[in-house]
Each structure stands twice: as structure tokens, then as C-alpha cells.
Chain A
Amino acid sequence: METENTTSEVSELESTFSVEKQKRIFKIIVIGDSNVGKTCLTFRFCGGKFPDKTEATIGVDFRERTLEIDTETIKLQLWDTAGQERFRKSMVQHYYRNVHAVVFVYDMTKLASFENMPAWIDECDRHSLSADVPRILVGNKCDEKDKIQVSTNLAQKFADMHCMPLFETSAKDDSEADNVEAIFMTLAHKLKAHKQMMNKALPRYNSTDMKRAKVISIGREKSGSSSDCAC
């Protein structure tokens, strides 16, 4: 009897210890049209620079980065997806599973890539992601000032409508690198807060619990003005 108790205590201790020691991992999927710069953005954030030669992504690529936030170590796993429509229909769905956040990317110099955003949002919804999974909208290539086709105003309205914060940046421009950093750091903070709440309420969460967990909307952070957001 005594031995049993000790054993169970020890294993409990061990599991607590391993939970504490374990880095928390957040899975983020990056989506948007072909050639908007998804690979460059994720590379900039995870690799610290703009890649000199990027190719079309076939299927999905995976990059990760470990961060220290408020003395806690967390790991962001970025799933960089192919932009061509055919891939998203039957290939990429596997990667929507258990995703913690979604980054929508459009090219500020290509109106069509912005106009396709509703299709990407539909796509996301089709994978029955929980409404509380944070989503952010990123306009890339802001360095190409002469070629801008998507105004900040237009993008902001769209972002507000969908309760997302909007970021405009350039993965290419070194002076914008901090901005790329800020985008993912914002997300990391949000995810961290999100999960802490869940952990408090549900020490052993499962996917259903996760969906039920309440989240502070990240949409308010930058969008501000809109009042008709449902989230």
C-alpha cells in the first residue's frame, strides 16, 4: 500500500516536473496567394534575414523559432503553405489540425491577392477552426511604395470586419525587419496569454476544451475603430 502511494506520488511529481520543463509549442499556419511572400516572411522571422533565392513552396514547409517571453520559453512552429489553389484543397488540410493561430498574407502591390482574402477566410472556416483561434492579416511588400495597389484604409476596413489586426510590412526591407518580428511577437504574446487561461481553467485540456476556452480578442489591438465585431 505504502509503496503504491509513493510510486503514484513520484509519478505525479515527475509529470508536473515534465510539464513545467516542457516548452510550450504553438502551431501557426501561414496562408495566402502564390508569391505574396509567405516563405520570405517566415524565413525572415525564423532565420533572421531575407532569403536570397526563394522558390515556389510545394505542399508545406516548416520553420520554427524559440522565444523567451516573460521568462517563459515558448516555441512557435510556422507552417508555410503553397499558394496555388490546388494544394489548399486536398493537401494542406492536414495542417489545419490543432492549429493555434492563422496568419493571412497578401501582397500590397497585387490587388488580386487582397481580393482573394475572403476565399482564404472561407477556406479557414471550412476547416472548422474555432472562432477563438487568433487570426492576423499581413500586407507584405510595403517597401515597393510606387507599386502599392492596396491602400491601408481598404485593408484596415477589411481587417476590422473580420476582427483581425492588420500589419503592413516588408520581409525584404531590413528596416522593416523589426516589424516582422513584432507581428509574430504580438501573436506569441496573445497565444501565451490564451493558453495560460486555458491551463488555469482546465489543467488537462483536450481539443474540445480548447475550443470552449475563452480568449481575449486580438482583433482589438490595432483595429480599434470598429464596433460591430462579434468577437
Chain B
Amino acid sequence: MSLSSKKGKSRGKKKGLLKRKGSTGSSGSHGSGDIKIASDKKHKAKAIQEAMRSDPPDIANLRRLAISDGGLLRDDLRRKAWPKLMNVNVFEIPPKPANIRAHRDYRQVVLDVERSMRRFPANMKEEQRSRLQDQLVDIILRVLVRHPELHYYQGYHDICVTFLLVVGEDLAFAIMDKLSEYHLRDFMDESMDRTRHILGYLMPIVGKAHPELRDFLERSDVGTIFALSWLITWYGHVLTDIRHIVRLYDFFLACHPLMPIYLAAQIVLYRSEDILRVECEMTMVHHTLSRLPEDLPFEHLVSRAGDLFIQYPPSMLAKEAELEFLSSTTISCYEDFEMATNQKPDTVLRRRRRFGNSTAQNGDVKTVQLRKPTNLALKFAVWAISASLGAAALAVVNVVNEWF
């Protein structure tokens, strides 16, 4: 493994690493709709840059932009925005430790990274891929060596490789270091009990939105393992197009750590017709669920997953599903994370829902409203938090001052 310590500056070289075509749906024709999309994108890209340039960076706005249609749009914007969303200080990235090979998980990491070829662009030269694979091993072990309490799991490398391909080695490490302490913390216990706990939210969410579907899934005894690789790899393991993966990462980095499970629920809901058509039997249902269609409408799903989160927040489900809400470090520590970044990402979703997502399809909004919770207290809470967003956005403090 190469242990050469290059600083962040060499990252620029990787700019052309990922094939970047126009975003889904905007290529081909030259109608007025396309021109509008292009100008919207230009406008959005400008907004993203402005949010990052302001001092301190306007994280609330950045989150809103990361969630809304198209996410952060381009990898050059992601390279700057992702570290900001994770409150990473790009000037104080801890150096590589020397003893990574001695780590208990070293062998497993190498085995998994060696088999991760599919995750690199198909046209990449072997030499370059192999160098990146070395860096991938280093990133993973740098995190693990720094946090002895964290345990490597197969699939962790699928998240790391996405960051490596977009932001380069050092920043990928810095982001993973944060992410592992917060969003991925439960997956990194010695056992996977708390990962199961997170998976335990899936059926309650599905059940809220579509009780018959939940009933069908439970009768089939399919369990929730079909969604395990979605959850613990943030979909990196199951999607083939890197553009979809990075779009989802924009969304997840801007949201509550349980958002990947809300997206899983949304995908299941979206596919309800396909699912209900198969025989109500474990293998058939597992087979159908575990194979994600290539053409999932991700913008639609992202938007709907956000809606599900607002309608059925984790606290509501934890109570209903009799789950031990506080037993999750990821969830309970999320408040600390929010404090550290001085942001409440959930409010972004709430505001977005309240004012309507300008890019959401009308049909979506209607469906969501049909299922709107009647709980007055919840409505009030949503309203109150939405109203206080302005104050929250103003309260961004110096912690986030040191951006480039």
C-alpha cells in the first residue's frame, strides 16, 4: 500500500475522473423546456457557490440546495460543498498513521477493496485504479485506527469509494471520519444489532403510507435484509450509475442519518404494484425487492422520502414500533452533530414541504396531503420549527468559518 502523504492540493487532478453527462432527462432535445432547465441549473449552481462563499457559509441554504432537484449538480461543487455539509475543517486533516497494517480489520478491508473493481469507471486505466484502491484501503484504515471503537463492515468501502472518486483521498478520509462518528456510527458496532434496529424502521414507515403493502410484506416473511446493502452502503453497492449515487449522497449529507431508511421505504412504496403482483412468499418477494430497477426516478424518490420523514418522523415511529429509540447512537448523537454545525437539517425539509418544493411534481404533493397526519401537535411543531428557521439560519457561528 502506498503511504505517500499527498496534501489536498493534488485533488484537482481527479476532476475528470467521473464521466459527467448532462443530468437525467436534459440531454437530447433543444426545446424551450431544456433551455429553462439549463438556466435553472445555472442559477442553482450560482446559488450553491454563493452559499459556500458567504462568511460563515450558509449551511442551511446549502442543505436546501443539496436536497432540492438535482442536488449539488456537479462534482466540482460537491468537492467544496460536501466537506462543508459535514463540518470538516479542510486545513486540519489528521495525517496518516504509520501502523495501518496492524489493524484487526486490515485483511478484510484489503479483500473487499480488491474486489471493488466495479465501483471504478470502466474506462479507467488499471494503474490508476490500482492506485485509487490503495488509497481506498488507506482511507478506511485511517478512520479505523483513529477510532478503535469503530468496527469495519463489508459495505463501508462502498461508501468510501464514492467519496474518494469525487473529493480525493484526504478529503474523503476527513468526511468519512465525521460520517463514521455520526451517520454510520450504529453500523460500526462490534455487532450488527443496532443496524437491525435501524432496519426496524422500514416496515413501520411503509405501513404508515401503505398498510396493505406492509401487511403483504410481513405475511411473506421477507424480513428487511433486502434493504441492508442499500442502507449500510448508502446505495453505493446497489446502483450502477455513479451520477445517481452522488445525487443521493447530496441528499443524505444534508439530512437526518435515518434518511437512507426513509428512502428505502419510499423505494418499496414506489414499487408497490410490482411487489403486490408476486406470490406472497419470502424468496419471490426478496428477489423482487433486492433487484433495483435501473430507471428509478431518483428526484421523485428523494422528494417523497423527505415528505415521508416529515409526516412520520423517527420519534413517532420509534414509539409505534416499540423500538428503543435512544439505543441508537447515530440518532441520539445527531443532536450533537446538529449543534456542532449549528444547523437543523430537518428544518430544511420541513420548510421545503411547507412551501412546496418548486420542483416536485404536482401529483406528489397531492398524494402527500392526502396522507397528512391529523395530529395537531405535530402540525404545530412543524409550523413552529418552520417559522424559526430564519433565526436558525442566522445563528450559524464561527465553527464553520474556516472554509476555503
Contacts and interface: CB of A to CB of B under 8 A. Distances in A.
Given A53-B118, A94-B225, A62 B283 contact: yes
A87 B287 contact: no
B154 A34 contact: yes
Contact of B237 (A55, A64, A94, A95): A55
Nearest to B199: A91
B192 A86 contact: yes
A113 to B, nearest CB: 11
A34 B225 contact: no
A82 interface: yes
B190 interface: yes
Interface string A18-57: 0000000101000000110000000000000000011111
Interface string B167-202: 000000000000000000000001111011000000
Contacts of B193: 90
B196 A84 contact: no
B155 A56 contact: yes
Contact of A58 (B151, B196, B233, B286): B233
B24 interface: no
Contacts of A109: none
A86 B153 CA distance: 8
B115 A55 contact: yes
B108 interface: yes
Given A91-B196, A94-B223, A84 B153 contact: yes
A127 to B, nearest CB: 15
Contact of B108 (A34, A58, A60, A77): A34
A27 B282 CA distance: 11
Interface residues of B, number: 32
B305 interface: no
A91 B192 contact: yes
Contacts of B196: 90-91
B3 interface: no
A86 B233 CA distance: 15
Given A34-B111, A58-B154, A87-B154, A53 B117 contact: yes
Nearest to B192: A90
Given A58-B154, A82-B154, A90 B191 contact: yes
Contacts of B229: 58-59
B111 A58 contact: no
A34 B226 CA distance: 20
A89 interface: yes
A56 B229 CA distance: 11
A86 B237 CA distance: 18
A59 to B, nearest CB: 4
A179 B188 CA distance: 39
A62 B286 contact: yes
Nearest to B233: A58
A104 to B, nearest CB: 19
Contacts of B117: 53
Interface in B71-106: none
A73 B191 CA distance: 41
In this complex, the member of A27, A77, A86 whose beta carbon has the largest number of chain B beta carbons within 10 angstroms is A86
A94 B196 CA distance: 12
B112 interface: yes
A62 B287 contact: yes
Interface in B186-233: 190-193, 195-196, 223, 225-226, 228-229, 232-233
B290 interface: yes
Nearest to B232: A58
Contacts of B112: 34, 55-56
Interface string B9-42: 0000000000000000000000000000000000
Contacts of B54: none
Interface in A59-78: 59-62, 64, 77
Contacts of A27: 283
A90 B119 CA distance: 27
Contact of B118 (A55, A64, A87, A89): A55
Contacts of B191: 86, 89-90
Nearest to A88: B192
In this complex, the member of A53, A54, A55, A59 whose beta carbon has the largest number of chain B beta carbons within 10 angstroms is A59
Contacts of A83: 154
B290 A62 contact: yes
Contacts of A95: 225
A84 B228 CA distance: 14
B315 interface: no
Contacts of B232: 58
A35 B111 contact: yes
Given A34-B112, A61-B290, A86-B151, 18 more contacts: A34-B111, A55-B118, A56-B115, A56-B155, A56-B157, A58-B154, A58-B237, A59-B225, A59-B226, A59-B228, A60-B225, A82-B154, A84-B108, A87-B154, A90-B191, A91-B196, A91-B228, A94-B225
Interface of A: 25, 27, 34-35, 53-62, 64, 77, 82-84, 86-87, 89-91, 94-95
10 contacts: A55-B237, A56-B157, A58-B154, A58-B229, A60-B225, A64-B283, A64-B287, A86-B190, A87-B154, A95-B225
What 9 A-B pairs are tightest by C-beta distance, nearest first? A58-B229, A59-B228, A56-B154, A56-B112, A58-B155, A90-B192, A35-B111, A94-B223, A84-B154
